[in-house]
Chain A
Amino acid sequence: MLPPAPALATTAGGFLLVLSIVAPVAGILLAFVLGDRHVRQVAFTVIPIGLAIAAAILLAPPESDGPLVYLLGAWPPPLGVALRADGLSTVMLATTAVVICAVAVFAVTDFRPAAADARAPFAFWILLLAIWAALNTIFVGGDLFTLYVALELLTFAAVPLVCLEGRAETLRAALRYLLFALLGSVLYLLGTALLYGLYGTLDIVLLSRRVTAVPGALIAAALMTTGLLAKTALFPLHLWLPPAHAGAPAAASAILSGLVVKGSFFILLRLWFNVMPGLPGFAVTQLLAALGAGAIVVGSIVALRQERLKLLIAYSTLAQIGYLFLMFPLAVDASGKLDSGGALAGGLLQAVSHATAKAAMFLAVGSIYAGLGHDRITGLRGVARALPLSVLAFALGGIALMGIQPSGASLAKELLLEETARTGQWWWAVVLQAGGMFTTGYVVLVLAHALMPSDQPVVLTGPTPLSRDLPALALALCSLLFGLMPWERYLPVPYGAALKLFGIDGLVKLLLPVLGGAALAILLSPGPLPVISSASWNTLRSVVGLCRRCSVEVGRRVERGDEVLRQWPVACISLLLVALLLAASMFASN
């Protein structure tokens, strides 16, 4: 029997999906015409409207009544294009609205349209709205080509954000990002064209009924996946991410790191879980998660070796992106099909938690940078006293990211660990735990420096308005409390999953990553450690010293390897290699 809801007719409330795209687009056009002095006003008119639309979609009838659907121009697919919002879309729409809103408040002072220097505010506010429009289109688009257009919109909005400051190194980072992202676009488009040639439709629901494991479809899937991985910057396709995310202004970094990489990741979820759940099979999901594990190890080790805070957080994003890919092998059910169950919910929760926590951390670092005039990690002594709210926001964001209860990341980790136990893939449980420890490692490292008292009073070089710290704090608290939200309305989370976080074994879950992370931070960070260098640790110092020298040497090698991987020829070869490996492993399982 066919499913009763065909998802091919407009539902009540479907027009909200149109509005979620139209509102920011109208804002872009209006801001562009009204020009320099009014851009910020237009943005602050659109943002409450967009927030209200996201809230209305969130409160629309729940998932059990089927997704919200809207047929554009009243043309049913395959001829026309449908917009659809299921639970995943709803959650992402709401998170995006919250993050955009917080970043906009943060940016009020930085991008004030003044008469003399209007270039950066003009571009920033228009691009912020454009990223919102693009992401909303990605979350509700029901057609693979519409998703391609949205992906282009996202790329063309994200790249100029990288070089808003106009320094030569940021221009270089932006060009790197643009070229590699366009390679990704081409691969995605190529796969889309192949799918149309095979099945005569690009509508996600119609395709899911027609796709079979023929060679053409497997090649298309491999190409599209590779393209999306390049845009998501999964290791080893990450050459563009560290310079781009570290070089952009703080507000832009928060958007790029928190939201933009989730756009291509979301399309990947759509492709695998909705278009072709039966195709990927066991081998390719293991491959994806292995790349994710590589990202966690390399990203975290290099993060621990950074001297600048912004680069540390950029590398942390690299590691966290890897974490997102651990859900794929856990979602494979007994028949080899990808099942939209607990693993998918865990993965999406991780994405949402990272979006809020990482945006909070980048904003907090932006405040610290503006206050101190630098972001050298070893120069952070005393900053906790000088900029308490910024450091608090950074700490809370970091704690949320580590997976301390009741953060969203802790619930995500819980769900994923349950799936590893259910499917018997213990090796991914090891990676999940290690990922938590590494995260703790670099957060603890930064906090250890920031919380040390300073001998001289810290001299602040810039103003530190509350409008910068409050949005960062709000986002960090969001991420920290995400574990308590009623997710079961939107995601396949078992009822009462959050309660398990507080069991008697909760203390173990808390201590394991914290102790492991502290050990990793001591072992792998090459710089002087404030705790170690104090006199009372002198005896332990000699014992730890040898271990530390060895692991710092390992870290140095990993960093060198990362430098090699981030060269153009090597990165392009990795891209081709990933495409071939994906195709080969899909052919092997079908």
Chain B
Amino acid sequence: MNIATVFEIVLASVVLGLAIWTIAVAETYSATVGFVAYSLLVALIWVRLDAVDVALTEAAIGGGLGGVVLLGAAARLRDAEALTVEQASPIVRMSAAILSASITAALAFAILLLPDPAPTLAPTVVANAGATGMTNPVTNVLMAFRGMDTMLEKVVLLLAIVGVWSLASDRAWGGRPGPRHQADPNGVLAFLARLLPPAGIVVGVYILWTGADHPGGAFQGGAVLASMWLLVIMAGLADTPPVSSRWLRLILVAGPGLFLAIGLGGLWLGPAFLSYPAAFAKPLILGIEVAMILTIAATLGLLLAGAPERSSQ
């Protein structure tokens, strides 16, 4: 048994333990903290499985921004929680436990029976990488082979924004999302909000750029940019933009919009919708990704900021 195997066994048991603790613990706030830690460790498992792209996304979304959303919700619920403690009956709890265990067993059974070596499209993806001029297979799948799915996922993000905004009161419609944050201008948060963003922006752009040939891409880069933006907002150094701002709206549709326009170009001039001419494939895809990183950063930031609450004046 080498050191890697020992590490994997420890990692797996800690993840399982954290998962059980997250379910079992009564207090929402503790469960949220447990979930964030769980998510970061799951990202480590993805690294061990050589799925670095997935690991980056899991850490950024599951552990990072998802964690922020959940912590915010837990903080808001903390006062009400004491009043609404509902204890399900023992029969319900027992049957839930038994049924969940059976489903888990069936899933484990199905996973263990999967063929080995697994049938995979990975060699085909690598063999067709020449069509785009990029060597990161994940980027090729997302941007070329399954471009339609990626474009529609960006529309889902836009709908999430519409959904969150539609929760505003009619009076606050068109105003700025979330509360106006105030922080001590000489405090640690304001200091970090001045110190980190320059480096964070460089890292985000680097993750996007390197995504052509190495793990990374618009989503992970966008998540880093979004967290930098949120840091500045929370430190009170900048305010959220009013949702009626035309610029904001343009940035929010830039990614799917450009994707759609280039896709239609392929339908009009080329062989098919979402096909790229071989000579321009890489610059076109990079163009879409640049638009997408802006869209993703703005979307994630605004999803965390919440519904419009204050008029824009």
- What are 7 of the A-B contact pairs (CB < 8 Å)? A25-B151, A29-B257, A74-B275, A81-B146, A166-B167, A199-B119, A201-B119
Q: Give the contacts of A203-237 with B (CB-CB under 8 A).
A: 214-216, 219-220
Tell me if B160 is interfacial: C-beta within 8 Å of chain A.
yes
Chain B window 9-34, contacts with chain A (Cβ cutoff 8 Å), 1 for yes, 0 for no: 00000000000000000000000000
Question: Which of A49-57, A294-302, A572-580 faces chain B?
Answer: A572-580
Question: Which of B52-60, B178-186, B221-229, B246-254 faces chain A?
Answer: B246-254
A79 touches B99 (CB 8 A): no
A22-B264, A133-B155, A160-B162 known; A149-B113 Cβ under 8 A = no
Q: What secondary structure prevails in chain A residues at the interface with B? A: helix
Number of interface residues of A (CB under 8 A): 69
B99 touches A577 (CB 8 A): yes
Question: Which of A32-40, A329-337, A416-424 faces chain B?
Answer: A32-40
A198 touches B119 (CB 8 A): yes
A200 touches B120 (CB 8 A): yes
B155 touches A28 (CB 8 A): yes
**Whole-angstrom distance between the Cβ of B160 and the nearest chain A Cβ:** 6
A194-B119 Cα distance, complex, nearest whole Å: 12
Q: Give the contacts of A545-573 with B (CB-CB under 8 A).
A: 569-570, 572-573
Residues of A within 8 A of B (CB): 10, 15, 18, 22, 25-26, 28-29, 32-33, 35-36, 70-75, 78-81, 116-120, 122-123, 126-127, 130, 133, 137, 145-146, 149-150, 152-153, 156-157, 159-160, 163-164, 166, 171, 190, 194, 197-201, 214-216, 219-220, 569-570, 572-573, 576-577, 579-580, 583
A22 touches B156 (CB 8 A): no
Q: Give the contacts of B139-169 with A (CB-CB under 8 A).
A: 144-149, 151-153, 155-156, 158-160, 162-163, 165-169
B114 touches A137 (CB 8 A): no
Taking CB atoms, residues of chain A closer than 8 Å to B7 are none
Taking CB atoms, residues of chain B closer than 8 Å to A146 are 146, 148-149, 152
Given A120-B170, A123-B163, 13 additional A-B pairs, CB 8 A? A32-B249, A70-B272, A79-B124, A117-B173, A119-B165, A123-B165, A153-B155, A197-B118, A198-B114, A198-B115, A201-B119, A219-B109, A576-B103
Q: Which of A133, A200, A577 contacts B118 (CB 8 A)?
A: A200
Taking CB atoms, residues of chain B closer than 8 Å to A33 are 246, 249-250, 253
A25-B106 Cα distance, complex, nearest whole Å: 39
Taking CB atoms, residues of chain B closer than 8 Å to A75 are 128, 144-145
Taking CB atoms, residues of chain B closer than 8 Å to A200 are 118-121
A52-B142 Cα distance, complex, nearest whole Å: 31
A119-B168, A572-B96 known; A201-B121 Cβ under 8 A = yes
A29 touches B256 (CB 8 A): yes
Q: Which of B88, B119, B152 contacts A569 (CB 8 A)?
A: B88
Taking CB atoms, residues of chain A closer than 8 Å to B170 are 116-117, 119-120, 166
A216 touches B110 (CB 8 A): yes
Tell me if B62 is interfacial: C-beta within 8 Å of chain A.
no
A149 touches B275 (CB 8 A): no
Taking CB atoms, residues of chain A closer than 8 Å to B257 are 29
Q: Which of B118, B146, B246 contacts A145 (CB 8 A)?
A: B146
Taking CB atoms, residues of chain A closer than 8 Å to B111 are 194, 197
Interface size of B as a range: 35 or more
Nearest B residue to A190, CB-CB:
B107
A29 touches B260 (CB 8 A): yes
Chain B window 218-246, contacts with chain A (Cβ cutoff 8 Å), 1 for yes, 0 for no: 00000000000000000000000000101
**Whole-angstrom distance between the Cβ of B122 and the nearest chain A Cβ:** 9
Taking CB atoms, residues of chain A closer than 8 Å to B151 are 25
Residue of A29, A164, A570, A573 with most partner-chain B CB within 10 A: A29
Q: Give the contacts of B235-289 with A (CB-CB under 8 A).
A: 244, 246, 249-250, 252-253, 256-257, 260, 263-264, 266-267, 271-276
